[in-house]
Amino acid sequence: MNVAIIGTGYVGLTTGVCLAYIGHSVLCLDTDLSKIEALQAGKIPIYEPHLEDLLAEAQRNLRFTTSYSEAIPDADVVFIAVGTPPTASGSPNLEYLSQAAQSIGEHLAGEFTVIVNKSTVPIGSGNWVGAIVRRALEQRQGRKANGAFGIASNPEFLREGVAIGDSLYPDRIVIGSDEERALEILYTLYRPVLDQTFPAPVFVPRPEDKGAVPLVSTDLASAELIKYAANAFLALKISFINEIGQLAERVGADIREVARGIGLDSRIGSRFLSAGIGWGGSCFGKDTAALVATASEYGLKMPIVEAAREVNCRQRDHVIEKLLQELKILKGRTIALLGLAFKPNTDDLRESPAVEIAQKLMVRGARVKAHDPIAMDRFQREHCHLGVELCPTVEATVEECDAVVLVTEWTEYREVDWEALAPAMRSPVILDGRLILDGDKLSRAGFRYIGIN
Ligand SMILES: NC(=O)c1ccc[n+]([C@@H]2O[C@H](COP(=O)([O-])OP(=O)(O)OC[C@H]3O[C@@H](n4cnc5c(N)ncnc54)[C@H](O)[C@@H]3O)[C@@H](O)[C@H]2O)c1
């Protein structure tokens, strides 16, 4: 099938490369010329493990452009994967979505094209996109645009850092449309993934127990709500364990043991039960805010989702409180942050806890040094105004520091020789924001170890 992908960010690019890999002819479009030029040269503008390898394998089915007139007319399916960043009110900014819909409408020429919202968009956006496309198309044609296109929703559930595995071997695929023809076309498009008939790439092998992928084929509004409900549920699972963590600390319980004890219950499950600094990233904060905002348009409150958001904010304040307890005064202190990306294996800094913690520390007059294995270049580009000192190694970061905060659970931080580092610090205090370090071992190495829960 001929596929056009609008937006080559974390979602659009992964989707485009994976669809090309399974055999479709894919044209990826972005308005950012520098991204398209990099991609045309075979370079990936983001950090996502194995995406560049897969791009090389899928190259014969994949092209990149900034031109809507090149991408849209021949496409059977057009995916919209532009950003929907949060606004101050909690509702997502739909400006990019509206521009993409307008441009699609201006260039649509096929007999029937399925236009798919892959961006996470508020419930009702499918109809809204349809109206924009229709208006633009009718203006261009000077006549009614009946039957020229169908609107669908195909929410994306990939996780940055393991995006290829999530796209090729997903837990499920959700498609939603009020038009049967659009659903049939999407079913055909995804058939190789649903039936797992494509040859697995050697660098991201198929999980041994992977069977057929369940398809949830539903109406437009349900598909749109599924995405928000899924993210809200994951976010509240993390906030739940963090809320229990606060009590665990008061009563002297070990939150890791508590999480293990409840997670082994198959009704609960152990994933997303890691206590710590809490969630960050471009989705959970934005999507929970959007869910609350959508509900309020209907006169509804979402107290559970709101509480999950509140607990998450509290976790970041907790880091500052703990540092104040230990150091009494933050003014003039030097604090090391290990990890800047919002989670390991990505360079994504959107709503990263590290950025907020750095800001809070600097407001209190502290000097902040930081390290990240991958995200430092991006941090330099996007947050250089903060005045955080970036260091090339963990050793250089913790040197002469009054405390170190482990913010992101990169594997290499688990393997640090802390014993060797303690003497280089002004005071060997470590706040483990992800509860991944061995507290007893660190205490023996001379550290004051504090877990954040
Ligand atoms: N990142 C994730 O892990 C993830 C997971 C699931 C869903 N989502 C959702 O997917 C959507 C995209 O997220 P992302 O992280 O890939 O965003 P991103 O910011 O990385 O990428 C968006 C891209 O769209 C491009 N763009 C903007 N306006 C355009 C236009 N009019 N025409 C063509 N290109 C345009 C931008 O230049 C950018 O490259 C969002 O709605 C997000 O909530 C993201």
For residue 391, indicate whether it is catalytic: no
Confirm or reject: Cβ of 107 under 6 Å from ligand 1: no
Per-residue model confidence (pLDDT) at position 314: 95
Q: Does position 129 have pLDDT exceeding 90, yes or no?
A: yes
Contact partners, residue 256, CB within 8 Å, separation at least 6: 275, 435
CB atoms within 10 A of CB 168: 24
Which atom of ligand 1 is found nearest the CA of 32? 37
Q: Does position 438 have pLDDT exceeding 90, yes or no?
A: yes
Which atom of ligand 1 is found nearest the CA of 10? 16
Per-residue model confidence (pLDDT) at position 161: 96
Per-residue model confidence (pLDDT) at position 27: 98
Contact partners, residue 168, CB within 8 Å, separation at least 6: 18, 21, 22, 193, 198, 200, 201, 204, 206
Per-residue model confidence (pLDDT) at position 88: 86
Helix or strand run (H / E) with residue 261: helix 255-263
Q: What's the CA gap between 98 and 118, in Å, rounded?
A: 14
Q: Does position 145 have pLDDT exceeding 90, yes or no?
A: no
Rg (the chain; Cα; Å): 24
Q: How many residues does the chain have?
A: 453
CA of 446 to the centre of ligand 1 (A): 45
Q: What's the CA gap between 375 and 338, in Å, rounded?
A: 11
Q: Does position 96 have pLDDT exceeding 90, yes or no?
A: yes
Domains of the chain: 2-210 (3.40.50.720), 228-309 (1.10.1040.10), 314-451 (3.40.50.720)
Per-residue model confidence (pLDDT) at position 79: 98
Instruction: From 156, 160, 166, give the residue whose CB has the most ligand 1 atoms within 8 Å, as the site to mutate.
Output: 156
Q: What's the CA gap between 319 and 359, in Å, rounded?
A: 12
Contact partners, residue 235, CB within 8 Å, separation at least 6: 279, 284, 287, 288, 305, 308, 309, 312
User: Coil, strand or helix: which one is 437?
Assistant: coil
The tens digit of pLDDT for each residue in 15-27 reads 999 999 999 999 9
Confirm or reject: Cβ of 288 under 6 Å from ligand 1: no
Per-residue model confidence (pLDDT) at position 301: 97
Q: Does position 31 have pLDDT exceeding 90, yes or no?
A: yes
Q: Does position 89 have pLDDT exceeding 90, yes or no?
A: no
pTM: 0.94
Per-residue model confidence (pLDDT) at position 430: 97
18, 28, 283, 401: the active-site residue? 283
What residue owns the CA closest to ligand 1's atom 31? 100
CB of 408 closer than 8 Å to CB of 341? yes
> Parallel, antiparallel, or unpaired for β 173-177 and 149-153?
antiparallel
Q: For the residues 261-268, what does the mean pLDDT come to? A: 98
- How sure is the predictor about 61, in pLDDT bands with cuts at 50, 70 and 90? very high
Sheet of strand 403-406, all strands in order from the earlier edge strand to the far edge: 389-390, 367-371, 334-338, 403-406, 429-432, 448-451
CB of 177 closer than 8 Å to CB of 151? yes
The tens digit of pLDDT for each residue in 382-416 reads 999 999 999 999 999 999 999 999 999 999 999 99
- How sure is the predictor about 90, in pLDDT bands with cuts at 50, 70 and 90? confident
Instruction: From 30, 34, 93, give the residue whose CB has the most ligand 1 atoms within 8 Å, as the site to mutate.
Output: 30
Which atom of ligand 1 is found nearest the CA of 118? 10
| Angle (nearest 5°) at CA 102 between 101 and 107 | 95
CA of 323 to the centre of ligand 1 (A): 36
- How sure is the predictor about 146, in pLDDT bands with cuts at 50, 70 and 90? confident
Q: Does position 434 have pLDDT exceeding 90, yes or no?
A: yes
CA of 72 to the centre of ligand 1 (A): 18
Q: What's the CA gap between 408 and 352, in Å, rounded?
A: 9
Q: For the residues 60-89, what does the mean pLDDT come to? A: 96
Per-residue model confidence (pLDDT) at position 452: 93
- How sure is the predictor about 332, in pLDDT bands with cuts at 50, 70 and 90? very high
Give phi and psi for 73, each to the nearest 5. -55, -35
Beta bridge partners of 449: 430
